[in-house]
Amino acid sequence: MVMGVVSWDHIVLVTLFLVFFILSDLELCNGGITSSYVRNDDLSLDMPIDSDVFRIPPGYNAPQQVHITQGDHEGKGVIVSWITPEEPGSSTVLYWAENSQHKSQANGFFLTYKFFNYTSGYIHHCSINNLEFDTKYYYEVGIGNTTRKFWFRTPPRIGPDVPYTFGLIGDLGQTHDSNRTLTHYELNPTKGQTVLFVGDLSYADDYPLHDNNRWDTWGRFIERNAAYQPWIWTAGNHEIDFVPELGEPKPFKPYTNRYHVPYKASESTSPFWYSIKRASAYIIVMSSYSAFGKYTPQYKWLVKELPKVNRTETPWLIVFMHCPLYSSYVHHYMEGETMRVIYEEWFVQYKVDVVFAGHVHAYERSERVSNIAYNIVNGLCTPISDQSAPVYITIGDGGNLEGLATEMTEPQPSYSAYREASFGHGILDIKNRTHMYFGWHRNQDGYAVEADSVWLLNRYWISSERSSVAALR
Ligand SMILES: *[C@@H]1O[C@H](CO)[C@@H](O)[C@H](O)[C@H]1NC(C)=O
Ligand SMILES: *[C@@H]1O[C@H](CO)[C@@H](O)[C@H](O)[C@H]1NC(C)=O
Ligand SMILES: *[C@@H]1O[C@H](CO)[C@@H](O)[C@H](O)[C@H]1NC(C)=O
Ligand SMILES: *[C@@H]1O[C@H](CO)[C@@H](O)[C@H](O)[C@H]1NC(C)=O
Ligand SMILES: *[C@@H]1O[C@H](CO)[C@@H](O)[C@H](O)[C@H]1NC(C)=O
Ligand SMILES: [Fe+2]
């Protein structure tokens, strides 16, 4: 009898607990989609040194590793960079508009650097300024010995409704997967016109003695795209190359010698943080691996920079840095937390549309959330839905030799809208001042397939009551 009563109580208690757990479980599991797509998890192998993508161009002292980036604040300038291996040769670029016979020339300079027992080739950087907007230009480098010819198209004049298409690539490296990512980007029917690169370029530092020859192979690998359209650079942790034990205590040495950016044009004092305008977008590049606390140069620059953005001129405000502020993967979990605590409030205040990052070798897209109410004692330390907040997108899935980040925190947090550990790239397709479309493409699919996509409605031009997510595929 007594036993029976106890059992009855027990059953009631168990039932109550079950109901409680089911309910709280439902509450916890209100995140978005964790893709069920399973890819094979072989480590990605680097393409061998004698691969076609690393081939040295023929001819004596032929320029190699040719790449371009935006060279001014408006998009009328281009920085052309290349390396000559045997002798300095000429740092001059000849260039001419598609429909013009007149060849102009711009004079650059070259530099070299040493890293432990590696000596670089002659690294040339040449700024071409005051180009016409929306014009195809041919250019020639290597004057004197072996010349090579390439072309690029300048962006349209800046304006609020100017359509433009950016590619998003991060953590690329030089594996077979890296080559697949680049190929998919090139063959994507929504043609990207400029690459926003969110850091971690060559992964040369994963080799013994940070073998800088792997910086050269990487430069030759990306030339097929980066010589024809600008890649906008961000420094990642694989650019730090801080190796005092090899006598290399100066961070970012190979990166800063090889990849120049127009930081002075945005009144920055450092190549690690800067801004550019392009078409209808205002793009701010930040550095996860430079001091960013209060009173630091980066902080002081951003304080002055954000109020300069004129959303009537450039409606789209895009920020990127290497380390994500929101990521629900186990690898690198919360590494971006210090930067989030300092800057997230400003991203909300200035209605940043989207924040891109790499670092985590996977893809993830957040809801519009903010987590800025916490003041140490009020306990308000959970992200909440916030229509003034940016969407955070992690796109560190270029395909480097370290492989994918497959382990995710469970349950999927509510701020996470979609996550998947596959290699791929993104396309940001700006239509006009109110609408922009983002698509994520995984390498296993056909070139036109989007594994995840979202309409992003402009945070300045569309009232914040309206949802940012107009349509989910
Ligand atoms: C890399 O991709 C390109 C373009 O698809 C292809 O031509 C080349 O053979 C590939 N190289 C390697 C080593 O996979
Ligand atoms: C640099 O040092 C490493 C290790 O001692 C050696 O294997 C390599 O051949 C050296 N490279 C050059 C260019 O001297
Ligand atoms: C390469 O060009 C430079 C400058 O024009 C010239 O001085 C040099 O003799 C050339 N070298 C060869 C091997 O043609
Ligand atoms: C913002 O840009 C618009 C369009 O170019 C211009 O008319 C306006 O004067 C600018 N506003 C400020 C404060 O500079
Ligand atoms: C902006 O682009 C979107 C998507 O293409 C379109 O639906 C909308 O009508 C456009 N707005 C204007 C003012 O043209
Ligand atoms: Fe990284």
Ligand number nearest to the C-alpha of 282: 4
User: Percentage of residues in the chain with pLDDT exceeding 70?
Assistant: 90
pLDDT, residue 3, reads: 42
Tell me phi and psi for residue 179, to 5 degrees.
Answer: -65, -35
- Nearest residue (by CA) to ligand 2, atom 8, is 117
Residue 465 has a pLDDT of 55
Q: Which two tokens stand for residue 368?
A: 């519009």
**Which ligand ends up closest to the CA of 471?**
5
Ligand 1 atom at minimal distance to the Cα of residue 53: 11
Give 13 Cα–ligand 6 centroid separation in angstroms: 49
For the stretch 196-231, pLDDT in tens is 999 999 999 999 999 999 999 999 999 999 999 999
3-state secondary structure 236-253: CHHHCCCEHHHCECCCCH
Ligand 6 centroid, distance to 235 Cα (angstroms): 9
Would you state the pLDDT for residue 26? 40
Ligand 4 pocket test, candidate residues 162, 282, 310, 316, most atoms within 8 A of CB = 310
Closest ligand to residue 84's CA: 3
The residue from 332, 359, 361, 441 that is catalytic is 332
What is the pLDDT, as a whole number, of residue 464? Answer: 57
CA angle 452, 455, 456 (to 5 degrees): 115
Cα angle for residues 230, 97, 63 (degrees, 5° grid):
55
Quickly list DSSP for 5-44: HHHHHHHHHHHHHHHHHHHHHHHHT---EE-------PPP
SS3 state of residue 197: strand
Closest alpha carbon to 255 in 243, 280, 272, 269: 272
Kindly report the protein residue whose alpha carbon is nearest to atom 14 of ligand 1: 176
Centroid of ligand 6 to alpha carbon of 135 (angstroms): 35
Q: What is the pLDDT of residue 12?
A: 45
Q: Is the CB of 117 under 6 A from ligand 2?
A: yes
171 alpha carbon – ligand 6 mean position (Å): 7
The mean pLDDT value of the chain amounts to: 92
Over the stretch 135-190, which tens digit does the pLDDT of each residue have? 999 999 999 999 999 999 999 999 999 999 999 999 999 999 999 999 999 999 99
| Residue recorded with tokens 């001042």 | 433
Does ligand 5 lie within 6 Å of residue 461's CB atom? Answer: no
Q: Average of pLDDT values for 411-431?
A: 97
Residue given tokens 């395909």 in the structure block: 399
Residue 14 has pLDDT above 50, yes or no: no
The structure tokens listed for 43 are 């480590």
Give the per-residue pLDDT at 36: 80
For 22-70, the pLDDT digits (tens) are 434 443 345 789 988 766 555 689 999 999 999 999 999 999 999 999 9
8 Å CB contact between 177 and 403: no
Pairing of strands 316-320, 354-357: parallel
pLDDT tens per residue, range 106-139: 999 999 999 999 999 999 999 999 999 999 999 9
Judged on CB neighbours under 10 Å (0-12, 13-18, 19+), 98 is exposed
Q: Is the pLDDT of residue 2 over 80?
A: no
Lookup: tokens for 446: 């056909």
The pLDDT value recorded for residue 174 is 98
Q: In whole angstroms, how far apart are CA 354 and each of 12, 320, 332, 428?
A: 49, 8, 21, 10
Which of 190, 430, 435, 453 for a ligand 5 pocket mutation test, highest count of atoms within 8 Å of Cβ?
A: 435
Answer yes or no: 332 catalytic. yes
| Local structure of 70: helix, strand or coil | strand
pLDDT (mean) for 329-343: 98
- Residues 215-247, buried b or exposed e (16+ Cβ, 10 A)? bbbbbbbbbebbbebbbbbbbbbbbebbbeeee
Which pLDDT does position 39 carry in this prediction? 64
